[in-house]
Structure 1
Amino acid sequence: MSAQTSDRLNGRIAVVTGGASGIGAQTAARLAADGAKVLRVDRKGDADLLLDVTADGANTEILDAVRHKYGKLDILVTCAGISKFLSLEETSDEVWDNNLAVNLTAVFRLVRDATSLLKESQAGRVVTIGSVMSEFAGPGLTAYTASKHGLLGLSRALATELGGYGITVNCVQPGAIETPMTAPAFNDMPEYKTFWSEKAPLGRLGQPQDIADVIAFLVSDDARFMSGHGIYVDGGAMVQP
């Protein structure tokens, strides 16, 4: 846990999808350390609410739970995501559809359905989790890259839709982060791990806490005039060719 915690989120209510592992788990812990009450949603693990964000009725269940438990919603962070390295020819329709469903469509639907609650907040915040692949591309990640490009565009559109209600929307774009989702790629392709470590001027891979701390800033009053942005958190990787 970062030492730079505070009480700046006291009284705030947050929902974090993908909240039982990786970036989502660290984000939930950091927001709680800053004083927020957090409902962690995930399809497995020790989440407060176990469900698949793409399932029929998932959003109703999430929003009913936060209404029943807390009576309001101030912060929505969408960390649920999937990724798998496959060549273009190996990328089936099912893989394509699943990437779009989890990484893009589920985010759109949840923000849409949560808007009425967020409008009631005096400090509505939405943070989506994109990727450096929201503005970059490489072989083996066609479906993932398309979904993350779409998510950045969605986040910018949401910022224009919701800004009039005082709701900010930003898209955090992590670089190479060591999480359960990325572990298979790093283990199977050590050259991939080396590439991203060397590409970053800071000379290392990121950790979930690196992302969680930025999210904690974005949902706080300190970021009240930031909206509609894609924010790289990548150790400087994207400033180098």
Structure 2
Amino acid sequence: MSGLLEGKAGVVIGASSGIGRAAAELFADEGAKLAIVARRQERLNELAEQIARSGGTAVPIAADITRSEDHARIVEETTSIFGRLDFAFNNAGTIGNFVPMLEQSEEDWTHTIDTNLKAIWMSVRAQATQMKKNGGGAIVNTSSWLAVGALPGSTSYSASKAGMDGLLRAAALELAPFDIRINNINPGGIDTDMTRQAFQDDETVFAAFGKAHPIGRLGTPRETAELAAFLLSSRAANITGQAILIDGGYSIPGQR
């Protein structure tokens, strides 16, 4: 049986760790040819070599997602190598400094919004321009349960992710005539370095956060990548413009 993404060419942005790395590994297993993108070249090289040893194809591209010219270059290089761009998974982002609003600087706010929201807009714009030439494609962005919820210190992060979900709906309407689907995945607590950073590596508080999820634990990067793979595949052909929570029930009102 062929994989979900068999024969497709795509890009994973934010591939060097966490959900992005799990997605790159899974997408390659599902038959995709990949451009893997992040800031750290050495991590990308190691991941590309790992995927190659498993029989997959992954080309590393180091880039800064806050620069529009880098988004154009990512699409150009991916298309030059593989001949087309069928899908994109935009997973890169920042937790920001995650402090109370009264302690946050304007520079902190701007950094989080630029990295999590403006960069998504630039990614989607560049990717969809190429997909339109292809005759269609699929895009998935990583948002967050914090787009609809909050924690102390999450003002800039929550605002950036809520903005992503707002952008999504308009983009879905604009891109549908070109046979381009776009969806967001909104993880809850996922056991990644970024999540631990949000809790300042306090293992006691981190463990309590996991237990507060109705399923009794944090999610895994692989589980999150599985949802992204499905949404990027033809099996999700009738799904667009949706921000889909994958949070073990954590965001259900009143459950805590």
TM-score clears 0.5: yes
Equivalence for 2:231: 218
Identity of aligned residues (%): 35
Equivalence for 1:230: 243
Equivalence for 2:29: 33
Give matches, 1:9-28, under 5 Å.
9-28=5-24
**Pairwise CA distance, 1:52:** 0.9
Write the distance in 1 (CA, Å) between the matches of 2:110 and 2:76.
27
RMSD: 1.7
Equivalence for 2:179: 166
1:103-128 CA-partner distances (Å, limit 9, x unpaired): 01011012112222112345510101
Write the distance in 2 (CA, Å) between the matches of 1:110 and 1:197.
32
Aligned residues, how many? Answer: 237
Write the distance in 2 (CA, Å) between the matches of 1:118 and 1:56.
17
SS at match of 1:232: strand
Equivalence for 2:116: 103
TM-score (norm 2): 0.87
SS at match of 1:72: coil
**Pairwise CA distance, 1:91:** 1.3
* Worse-matched range after superposition: 176-185 or 14-23: 176-185
Structure 1: gaps spanning 5 or more residues = none
**Pairwise CA distance, 1:59:** 1.3
Distance 1:93 1:56, change over 3 A: same
Structure 2: gaps spanning 5 or more residues = 45-59
| 1:70 equivalent in alignment to 2:70 | no
Give matches, 1:107-122, under 5 Å.
107-121=120-134
TM-score (norm 1): 0.92
Equivalence for 1:7: 3
Equivalence for 1:185: 198
| 1:150 equivalent in alignment to 2:163 | yes
The question of whether the paired residues in 1 share the 8 Å contact of 2:146 and 2:161 is answered with yes
